[in-house]
């Protein structure tokens, strides 16, 4: 199982096992990682699963599509070049060890 490493705004570190095909958001929520709210459950409707992807994984996670791009413009925390909505990133074997920082406000 690929692992996801999430840094919480409080400095805590969470390492969770992901199923291939599950989203980063879904994996974090199932394990109760705090800070990923994900009100809409992955429907790309609420922008409350905002994360900052570690530089080394940016190419592997790809680009936000147009709708996600618009939602990212209005997130509660500042948008950065490495901002993504974690519901839109599906885990693959290549993403094993994916590291991201959870945005401080959702």
Q: How far is the CB of 70 from another protein (least distance, A)?
A: 4
**Nearest residue to 66 (alpha-carbon basis) of 49, 88, 38:** 88
Cβ closest to another protein, residue 5 vs residue 54: 5
Q: Least distance from C-beta 21 to another protein, angstroms? A: 8
Residues in the chain: 106
The residue written with tokens 């974690």 in the block is: 86
Q: How far is the CB of 42 from another protein (least distance, A)?
A: 8
Residue labelled with tokens 């199932």 = 30
Name the residue nearer to another protein (CB basis): 24 or 71.
Answer: 71
Put the strands of the sheet holding 50-53 in their side by side order.
13-17, 3-7, 98-102, 50-53, 83-85
Q: Which CB, 19 or 56, lies closer to another protein?
A: 19
Q: How far is the CB of 36 from another protein (least distance, A)?
A: 12
DSSP 71-85: HHTT-SSPP-TTEEE
Residues that bind another protein (CB under 8 A): 19, 22, 26, 29-32, 39-47, 67, 70-71, 73-74
Cβ nearer to another protein, comparing 54 with 77: 77
């Amino acid at each position: 199982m690929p692992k996801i490493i999430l840094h919480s705004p409080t400095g805590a570190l969470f390492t969770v096992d992901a199923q291939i095909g599950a989203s980063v958001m879904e994996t974090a929520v199932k394990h109760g990682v705090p800070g990923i709210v994900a009100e809409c459950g992955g429907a790309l409707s609420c922008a409350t699963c905002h994360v900052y992807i570690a530089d080394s994984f940016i190419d592997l996670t790809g680009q936000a599509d147009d709708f996600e791009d618009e939602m990212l413009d209005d997130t509660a925390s500042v948008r950065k070049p490495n901002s993504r909505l974690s519901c839109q990133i599906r885990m693959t074997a290549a993403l094993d060890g994916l590291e991201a920082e959870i945005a401080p406000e959702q």
